[in-house]
């Protein structure tokens, strides 16, 4: 349920109405917008009589929210959320340009790639230290040593770090070393992990879409993180499983306009894991920017032929550079800053 206040309602009057709701044992979430202030009500709203709230002279209207997600709901926060990742803004007209290797392999590899992508215009560095691999016999990532290499690369370039955490036991380490904590597709519905990063993670979260998750399931996972105390969530579409086998996954670009309707959270597109082929990255990245995404996460490797993970879908630094040049014109058309 949402209480919409009349324009120019004072903070004291808003708080008074919110207090009445809280006295019924519900929680409230006040959003002060440029035009209007709204108060979202979270909990068992059957206890609330909308008519009695509308009696107040400062209340414009009371609306029921039928969706099961509240904090992530666009109705609760009509303006786009802008998430700050170590000084880099994501959302609104600000684009996240995340680039880097699938996995951290060595200091030389990461620093060389980090310097190159920064030069091209990337504003965040990605690199997996803890890798969720389908096979237990595949390279599992360098772990803590990998995170330390990313920290070194950040020192050299200033680029904030994006890396995946698969287990709540590493949260303190990620709080110290990583700027944007990725929850991978396979963990999108690991509810205990979502609750822990909501409670204890001091950094924003990049929540990837599960391999076969619906929009609502994905947003509900964001809601878990937000309801546990971390409001800073960025969504990432990385392709879903379909009957098609030619591509690794199928990139769902409809998710951009649909999610923008459903939620105020930014949405980043990962064309690398979607197509699984390096030559699909450029056309899909262009289409994603044209469709209004809030950022791109792209795998870049200085030697894709020898990459320990996901070489076939990785761009060489020169290709990434060309791509960003081409994207700037498209971004301008849709009112985004690259």
238 binds, among Mn ion, ligand PEP, none (CB under 5 to 8 A by kind): ligand PEP
Of the two residues 74 and 208, which places its CB atom closer to Mn ion in the complex? 208
Of 9-17, 98-106, 107-115, 228-236, the segment contacting Mn ion by CB under 5 A is 98-106
- According to the binding rule CB under 5 A, does residue 300 interact with Mn ion? no
SS3 200: helix
Task: Answer for the pair 234, 265: CB distance below 8 angstroms, yes or no.
Answer: yes
CB of 238 to ligand PEP, least distance (A): 4
Of the two residues 71 and 315, which places its CB atom closer to Mn ion in the complex? 315
CB of 64 to Mn ion, least distance (A): 42
Of the two residues 178 and 227, which places its CB atom closer to Mn ion in the complex? 178
Which stretches of the chain bind ligand PEP, using CB under 6 A?
102, 128, 132, 164, 184-186, 208, 238, 273
Of the two residues 164 and 196, which places its CB atom closer to ligand PEP in the complex? 164
Tell me 76's DSSP state.
G
CB of 295 to ligand PEP, least distance (A): 13
132 binds, among Mn ion, ligand PEP, none (CB under 5 to 8 A by kind): ligand PEP
Of the two residues 53 and 104, which places its CB atom closer to ligand PEP in the complex? 104
Residues 6+ apart with CB under 8 A from 319: 278, 281, 282
Please give the structure tokens belonging to residue 86: 């170590």
SS3 59: strand
Rounded to 10 deg, the angle between the 107-120 and 144-157 helix axes is 40
Of the two residues 128 and 266, which places its CB atom closer to Mn ion in the complex? 128
Of the two residues 20 and 140, which places its CB atom closer to ligand PEP in the complex? 140
Q: Give the dihedral of Cα atoms 330, 332, 336, 338; nearest 10 deg.
A: 80
Considering only residues 2, 38, 102, 205, which one is a binding residue for Mn ion as defined by CB under 5 A?
102
185 binds, among ligand PEP, Mn ion, none (CB under 5 to 8 A by kind): ligand PEP
Cα 195 to Cα 222: distance, rounded to the nearest angstrom: 10
Within 10 angstroms of residue 167's Cβ, the number of other Cβ atoms is 11
Cα 318 to Cα 195: distance, rounded to the nearest angstrom: 40
CB environment 258-292: b (16+ within 10 A), e (fewer): ebbebbbbbbbbbbbbbbbebebbbebbbbbbebe
Binding mask 167-206 for Mn ion (x = CB under 5 A): ----------------------------------------
Task: Answer for the pair 31, 77: CB distance below 8 angstroms, yes or no.
Answer: yes
Find the residue with minimal CB distance to ligand PEP: 184
Cα 28 to Cα 111: distance, rounded to the nearest angstrom: 46
Cα 286 to Cα 328: distance, rounded to the nearest angstrom: 10
Considering only residues 124, 310, 314, 327, which one is a binding residue for Mn ion as defined by CB under 5 A?
310
Of the two residues 181 and 227, which places its CB atom closer to Mn ion in the complex? 181
Strands (E), the chain: 2-5, 27-32, 37-42, 59-63, 83-85, 88-90, 96-100, 124-126, 161-164, 180-183, 205-208, 233-237, 267-269, 295-299
Of 29-37, 56-64, 97-105, 283-291, the segment contacting Mn ion by CB under 5 A is 97-105
Find the residue with minimal CB distance to Mn ion: 102
CB of 85 to ligand PEP, least distance (A): 16
Residues that bind Mn ion (CB under 5 A): 102, 310
């Amino acid at each position: 349920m949402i209480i919409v206040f009349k324009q120019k309602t004072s903070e004291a009057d808003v708080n008074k109405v919110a207090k009445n709701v809280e006295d019924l044992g519900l929680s409230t979430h006040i959003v002060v917008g440029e035009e209007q202030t709204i108060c979202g009500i979270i909990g068992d709203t059957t206890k609330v009589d909308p008519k009695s709230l509308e009696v107040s002279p400062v209340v414009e209207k009371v609306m029921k929210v039928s969706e099961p997600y509240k904090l992530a709901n666009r109705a609760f926060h009509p303006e786009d959320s802008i998430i700050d990742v170590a000084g880099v803004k994501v959302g609104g007209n600000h684009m996240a340009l995340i680039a880097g290797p699938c996995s951290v392999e060595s200091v030389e590899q990461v620093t060389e790639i980090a310097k190159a992508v920064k030069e091209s215009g990337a504003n965040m560095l990605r690199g997996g230290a803890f890798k969720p691999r389908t096979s237990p016999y595949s390279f599992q990532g360098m772990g803590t040593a990998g995170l330390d290499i990313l920290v070194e690369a950040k020192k050299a370039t200033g680029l904030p770090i994006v890396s995946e955490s698969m287990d709540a036991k590493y949260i303190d380490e990620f709080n110290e070393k990583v700027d944007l904590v990725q929850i991978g597709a396979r963990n999108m519905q690991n509810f205990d992990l979502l609750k822990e990063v909501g409670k204890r993670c001091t950094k924003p979260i990049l929540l990837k879409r599960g391999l076969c998750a619906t929009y609502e399931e994905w947003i509900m996972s964001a809601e878990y993180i937000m309801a546990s105390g971390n409001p800073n969530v960025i969504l990432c579409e990385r392709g879903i499983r379909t009957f098609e086998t030619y591509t690794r996954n199928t990139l769902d670009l409809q998710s951009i306009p649909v999610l923008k309707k459903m939620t105020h959270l930014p949405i980043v597109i990962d064309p690398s894991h979607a197509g699984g082929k390096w030559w699909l990255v450029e056309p899909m990245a262009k289409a994603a920017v044209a469709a209004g995404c809030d950022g791109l996460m792209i795998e870049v490797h200085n030697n894709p032929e020898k990459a320990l993970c996901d070489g076939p879908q990785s761009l060489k630094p020169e290709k990434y550079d060309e791509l960003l040049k081409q994207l700037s014109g498209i971004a301008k058309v849709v009112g985004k800053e690259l």
